[in-house]
Chains A and B, each alone.
Chain A
Amino acid sequence: MGRITLEKVTKSFGNVEVIPPLDLTIEEGEFTVFVGPSGCGKSTLLRLIAGLEDVSSGAISIDDQNATELPPAKRGLAMVFQSYALYPHMSVRKNIAFPLKMIKMDQAEIDRRVEGAASVLNLTDYLDRRPGQLSGGQRQRVAIGRAIVREPSAFLFDEPLSNLDAALRVGMRLEISELHERLKTTMIYVTHDQVEAMTMADKIVVLRAGHIEQVGSPLELYHRPRNKFVAGFIGSPTMNLIEGAEAAKYGAATIGIRPEHIDISETETKWKGVVGVSEHLGSDTFLHVHETGLTEMMTVRVTGDVNLKHGDTVHLSPREDLIHKFDAQGLRVD
C-alpha cells in the first residue's frame, strides 16, 4: 500500500504554470524527499498529491487507483503541516482522535489507538492539554500522532521541522526516520533544507521551477549530480564551480569540485590562493580561499583543525578523480 504515480501532471495558477508536465513514481514504503529552493513548486506538488489543490491536467494514482478527482479525505493520505495546524479548541486527545471520529470509528477503538499513538510519541502526560499549552516539539508530535492513528497509505510532510529550533530539529528528524523504519509506510517529505533531505531520504527529488532536475538516492545525487544545479544544491558547503580556461583543460565548460575533495599543502601544487575567513568547527575547518584566479572564492574543507590565518597563502590540489564536468548546457559529461 502506498504507491503513488504522477502522470503528466501540470498545475497553473491563472496564466502562471508552476508545474510543467511532470512524471514521477513513488514506490511503496519509500521515504521520498522533495527538495529545492523556495518557490520551486515542491509544496504545490505535495498539495496536488494531497488533493488540497486540483491538477490542471494529468493524472495522479494511488495504489493504481485513479485519485485525480478524489477529495483529500478519500485518498487515504495523512498530512503534517509546517504550522502543525492543530485544532486549538480541542485537547491533544481530541486532536489525535479527530480523523478517527470523522470515519465514525467505534469509541473503544479510538481510545485504544489514541493511547497507542500517545505512548509512541511520549504524549501520554499531555493528552488533556490544549495545543496552546505545549512546546513546539510537542505540538509537532501531536500533529504526527494525528497522522499516524488513521494508518494512512502514505504520509505527507510539508516542511514539518522549519518552525523548530536547531537542536529540536535534529531530534525530530531522527524520530521521523525512526517512525518510518517502524511503520514502513510511504512518506513524502518536503523541505528546502538539503541536510534533512540527505539524512532522511531513500529517494530525493530535486526540483527547480516545477521541473524535476534529478531523482535519485542521496549518495547518487552527491556523487553523480546530473547537472550544475543539482551539483550546487546538494552538499554542504556547496560545490566549487569553476569555468573558463581551467575547465577547458578538462574538456568541459564548467568543472565542479566539492570542498572536501581538495587537499591543502605547503608545497607548490596545482592551484594556490590566499586564505580569507576560516570557520573552525572543531571536527572540520572550512577555509574560504581567494585570489585563486579560478573563481571568486573557493571553499575547502579540511578535517580537524589547521593552523592557517587570514592572508596566508595556501596550495590546493583537487582529487582529479572526483572532479565533476559539465557542458555548456550545464549537463554532466562523463
Chain B
Amino acid sequence: MARQVTSKRKALNTVLAWGIGLLIFFPILWTILTSFKTEAQAINDPPIFLFFDWTLENYQVVQERSNYGRFLWNSVIIAGGSTLLGTAIAIPAAWSMAFVPSKRTKDILLWMLSTKMLPAVGVLYPIYLLFIRMGILDTRVGLVVVIMLINLPIIIWMLYTYFKEIPGEILEAARMDGASLKEEVLYVLTPMAVPGIASTILLNIILAWNEAFWTLNLTAAKAAPLTSFIASYSSPEGLFYAKLSAASTMAIAPILILGWFSQKQLVRGLTFGAVK
C-alpha cells in the first residue's frame, strides 16, 4: 500500500517537474521555432506551434545583413577576457579572505555584494563619462574591464565559499613543507579548488555573455558583442520577429552548447558546500 502511494507521488512529481521545466524553457523553444518560420507565420493569429513550412531563410538574411562572426568574436573576447581577468584577481582576494581573515573580512564581503544591489543605470553616467575621458568607449578593453568589475563580487564570493571548504591544516602543512606563498597557492590550493574554480569560470562566462546593459550602452560598432547583434534586429518600425528570433538563436547557441556540456560541472559547483 505504502509503496503504491510513493510511486503515485513520484509520478506526480515527475510530471510537475517536467511541466515547470518546459514552462521555463518555453520562451527559448518558441524563439528557436520562430526562427524557422516566415515573418508572416511568425505573427500568425492563432500562433502556429509546429506545423509550418520550415525555412532557413531568416538565417540567410541575418548572415547577409550583419557580420555574425565579428559579434561572436567580440562576445568571446569580452566574456572570456573579463572572466579570466576577474578570476586572476579573485583567487588571491578569496584566498586572503578565507585563510587569513581580518576583523573586517565579513564587512568587506557584504560591501562587495552590496555593489550588486545598486541598479546599474545609477552609475551609467559617470562610467560613460569616464569611458569618454579615457578614450575607451566602444573598445573591447573597456568592456572587458567593466564587465569584469561587475562580476568580480560574484567571482570572489563563489571562490571564497569553495576555499572555505579546504581544510586550513593542508595549507599549513604546505607551509611547514617549505612552500612559499606562491607555491602554496599554485601547487596545493588551486589544484584542490579546481572544481570550484571551473564552475565559477563557467558561470561567469555565461553571465558576461548575456550581459546586455553595459554592452549596449558602451558600444556602438567596433566592440559590439552578440547582445548588440540581437538588439539590432529589434526594430520598432518593422515586424521582424522571425529574423530577431534567428539572431537570438545564433547569439545564445554557443553559450547554450557550452552550458549543456558543462552542466554536470555547473550543478556540482553551484551546490558545492550546500550538500555535504
Interface residues in chain A, defined as those with a beta carbon under 8 Å from any beta carbon in chain B: 50, 52, 71-73, 77-79, 81-83, 85-89, 98-99, 102-103, 146, 150
Contact = CB atoms under 8 A, between A and B. Distances in A.
B192 A81 contact: no
Given A72-B172, A73-B177, A87-B170, 9 more contacts: A50-B176, A52-B176, A77-B176, A81-B173, A83-B167, A85-B167, A87-B173, A87-B174, A150-B178
A318 B60 CA distance: 105
B32 interface: no
Contacts of A103: 178
A83 B173 CA distance: 10
B179 interface: yes
Which DSSP category, helix, strand, loop or mixed, fits chain A's interface?
A: loop
Nearest to A79: B176
A71 B178 CA distance: 9
B191 interface: yes
A29 to B, nearest CB: 21
Nearest to A14: B103
A81 B167 CA distance: 12
Interface size class of B (residues with CB under 8 A): 10 to 19
A46 to B, nearest CB: 11
A130 to B, nearest CB: 12
Contact of B178 (A73, A82, A86, A87): A73
A102 B176 CA distance: 10
B194 to A, nearest CB: 8
Contacts of B183: 102
B222 interface: no
A87 B170 CA distance: 7
Interface in B173-199: 173-180, 183, 187-188, 191-192, 194
B237 interface: no
Q: Considering residues A77, A82, A99, which has the most beta carbons from chain B within 10 angstroms of its beta carbon?
A: A99
B178 A83 contact: no
A87 B188 contact: yes
B103 to A, nearest CB: 9
A158 to B, nearest CB: 9
A71 B191 CA distance: 24
Contact of A98 (B177, B191, B194): B177
Given A83-B167, A85-B170, A73 B191 contact: no
20 contacts: A50-B176, A52-B172, A52-B176, A73-B179, A78-B177, A79-B176, A81-B169, A81-B172, A81-B173, A82-B169, A85-B172, A86-B170, A87-B174, A87-B188, A87-B192, A89-B192, A98-B174, A98-B177, A102-B178, A146-B177
B180 A73 contact: yes
A52 B175 contact: yes
Q: Give the 3 A-B CB pairs with smallest separation, nearest first.
A: A102-B178, A85-B173, A99-B177
A102 B173 contact: no
A88 B192 contact: yes
Nearest to B179: A102
A143 to B, nearest CB: 8
B184 to A, nearest CB: 10
A79 B194 CA distance: 26
A77 to B, nearest CB: 7
A71 B177 CA distance: 11
Nearest to A94: B187
B99 to A, nearest CB: 12
Q: Considering residues A89, A103, A146, which has the most beta carbons from chain B within 10 angstroms of its beta carbon?
A: A89
Contacts of A102: 177-179, 183
Given A81-B172, A81-B173, A83-B167, A89 B191 contact: yes
Contacts of A85: 167, 169-170, 172-173
Nearest to A99: B177
Contacts of B187: 98
A103 to B, nearest CB: 6
Q: Considering residues B169, B172, B175, B177, which has the most beta carbons from chain A within 10 angstroms of its beta carbon?
A: B177
Given A89-B191, A102-B183, A73 B176 contact: yes
